[in-house]
Amino acid sequence: MSEDPNRRSCIIVGAGISGLLAASTLQREGWNATVLDESRGVGGRMATRRLGEGNFDHGTQFFTVRGERFAGLVEGWLGAGVAAEWTRGFADADGQPYEDGHPRYRGAEGMTSIPKHIARGLDVRTGERVVRVDSSDDGWEVTCESGLRVAGNALVLTAPVPQGLDLVSSGSYRLPDRVRRLLEAVSYDPCLALMVLLDGPTGLPEPGGIQIKGEPLDWIGDNGRKGISEVPAVTVHAGPEWSRSHFEDDEKEVIDSMISLAGDRLGTDLASTVIATSLTRWRYSWVTNPHPEPYLVTSDDPPLLFCGDAFGQPKVEGAALSGLAAADHLMGRDTG
Ligand SMILES: Cc1cc2nc3c(=O)[nH]c(=O)nc-3n(C[C@H](O)[C@H](O)[C@H](O)COP(=O)(O)OP(=O)(O)OC[C@H]3O[C@@H](n4cnc5c(N)ncnc54)[C@H](O)[C@@H]3O)c2cc1C
């Protein structure tokens, strides 16, 4: 089958929420969009995993809606049954209920329900780590570790910015110094995230999440109360300072410390009911110094854009809007 020469094509690195929404917008407008992601599944930091019988969100825990454009998307996800409202507020650091009236949403079967839904019908290649980017007269070519090469008229990079910067420097293209400096100003906090499968109650107060927003722990969530796990399953996130100081520490030491800290916070002997644990070391979790615009064009001809949660608002809503704005730019409808 021969390709229509008038169809524009775009390579998108990253199948997180920003990359998938950029791809679906472009595809709807007749573009050929190819999404490449190094992970086994889609979703990026909207990550859900199984451990034994438990189902855990171990990256993003929930998301909020502020603006109209994102509200429209979330309406669609609610209608499709892939998102649900979890609560209108979590317990505070003292375990006291706190409601502010703003809905907090979750994926129906975990956060990845949403990216999986968006990815349906898109050309998404998972398990493909992009290792080299080259520019050519009529576009871009990327090379994956597997040897796969993909060419396109435009390139959108949604990987966390330090990874995107490494990629863009890997081949024949030279990033302008001014743009490099803007990108190098973006920084991230790390997060040590622990999944704990239990054979007893989690001890979390209603509605199954404690938003501590601090140190040494930042968050404790009950995936059963959240409605995504059939068995008691707790996610614990360490705060940015604690995560930074212990990021390279021995796995068992980190796990034991986090279980003990969570038990102290909940006033229960959590350690005595643990069946299994799994630790994720998120090197790039929350963006601490985002670029103020919703995307950054580093080359107009051929087009190369950086987007994702580092552009605009550093959260799920911001990442989603950034992907949409990058696609709008490529289609000549600048909404950014
Ligand atoms: C622990 C944690 C808790 C969080 N909690 C919340 C929360 O409660 N609420 C909220 O709104 N936000 C939260 N966030 C932030 C939220 O997850 C992100 O803002 C959002 O998911 C980012 O989406 P994205 O598409 O910009 O990037 P990502 O989801 O990071 O997607 C980028 C993708 O690029 C891929 N990639 C990277 N390099 C390559 C390569 N070389 N080749 C191929 N693929 C590559 C990665 O595998 C990844 O899938 C949290 C994040 C973390 C880590």
Residue 238 Cβ inside 6 Å of ligand 1? The answer reads: no
Residues 252 and 153 in one domain: no
Residues 198 and 260 in one domain: yes
Query: Which ligand 1 atom is nearest residue 322's CA?
Result: 26
Residue 307 Cβ inside 6 Å of ligand 1? The answer reads: no
As given in the structure block, the two tokens for residue 212 are: 């501590």
Spacing, Cα 6 to ligand 1 middle (Å): 33
Residue 158 Cβ inside 6 Å of ligand 1? The answer reads: yes
Residues 174 and 226 in one domain: no
Domain at 21, CATH number: 3.50.50.60
Spacing, Cα 47 to ligand 1 middle (Å): 8
* In the predicted structure, residue 118 carries a pLDDT above the cut 60: yes
Spacing, Cα 282 to ligand 1 middle (Å): 9
Final residue of a structural domain among 282, 297, 319:
282
pLDDT tens-digit readout, 19-59? 999 999 999 999 999 999 999 999 999 999 999 999 999 99
Residues 258 and 131 in one domain: no
In this predicted structure, what is the pLDDT of residue 231? 96
Residue 239 Cβ inside 6 Å of ligand 1? The answer reads: no
Spacing, Cα 111 to ligand 1 middle (Å): 11
pLDDT tens-digit readout, 75-117? 999 999 999 999 999 888 787 888 888 999 999 999 999 999 9
Residue 48 Cβ inside 6 Å of ligand 1? The answer reads: no
Residues 145 and 198 in one domain: no
Residues 206 and 226 in one domain: yes
Residue 110 Cβ inside 6 Å of ligand 1? The answer reads: no
* In the predicted structure, residue 335 carries a pLDDT above the cut 70: no
Residue nearest to atom 41 of ligand 1 (CA): 130
How many domains is the chain partitioned into structurally? Answer: 2
Residues 183 and 255 in one domain: no
Residues 25 and 145 in one domain: yes
Domain boundaries, position 224: 89-104+189-282
Residue 278 Cβ inside 6 Å of ligand 1? The answer reads: no
Final residue of a structural domain among 246, 262, 282:
282
